[in-house]
């Protein structure tokens, strides 16, 4: 039994066949965030009431730098995927494509700048 009308089938507004992939991507990143966010908050809090040199020395150690870098990448990718879903739901046409490109470009730029800054601090 087909649930699509002829009009919907002609317009291609049926299932996108990508829902499972997006769901699993969101689930995996959410599970990672359950562990990464508390680790990042604890790591960030440990360097909070220190002066500049102590913070630089703290983030020069491998564990705080690794936790911060992984947290940055997973958080930004998770937010990018969620923003993509929102854009796909509420924006249509050329504006949708341009907005998706802008969201991805901003997200990857944010990751690159964050990891570059962390590498400058850690090395």
Chain-wide mean pLDDT for the chain? Answer: 90
Per-residue pLDDT tens over the stretch 14-41: 566 677 888 899 999 999 999 999 999 9
User: Which domains are seen in the chain, by residue range?
Assistant: 19-122 (1.20.1300.10)
Split at pLDDT 50, 70, 90, the class of 2 is low
Which pTM does this prediction carry? 0.83
CB atoms within 10 A of CB 36: 20
From residue 99, alpha-carbon distances to 62, 88, 94, 123 in Å are 37, 9, 9, 36
Q: What are the pLDDT digits (tens) for 52-70?
A: 999 999 999 999 999 999 9
Establish how many alpha carbons lie within 13 A of residue 108's alpha carbon, considering only the half-sphere containing its beta carbon: 5
Residue 20: its pLDDT value, please?
Answer: 82
Burial class (CB in 10 A: 0-12, 13-18, 19+), 20: exposed
Instruction: Choose the weakest-confidence range: 12-16, 52-56, 71-75, 79-83.
Output: 12-16
């Amino acid at each position: 039994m087909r649930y699509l009308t002829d009009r919907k089938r002609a317009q291609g507004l049926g299932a996108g066949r990508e829902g499972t992939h997006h769901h699993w991507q969101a689930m995996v990143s959410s599970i990672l965030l359950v562990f990464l966010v508390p680790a990042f908050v604890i790591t960030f809090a440990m360097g909070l009431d220190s002066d500049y040199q102590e913070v630089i020395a703290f983030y020069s150690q491998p564990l705080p730098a690794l936790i911060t870098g992984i947290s940055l990448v997973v958080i930004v990718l998770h937010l990018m995927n969620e923003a993509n879903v929102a854009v796909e739901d509420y924006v249509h046409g050329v504006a949708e494509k341009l907005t998706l490109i802008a969201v991805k470009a901003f997200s990857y730029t944010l990751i690159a700048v964050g990891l570059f800054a962390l590498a400058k601090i850690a090395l």
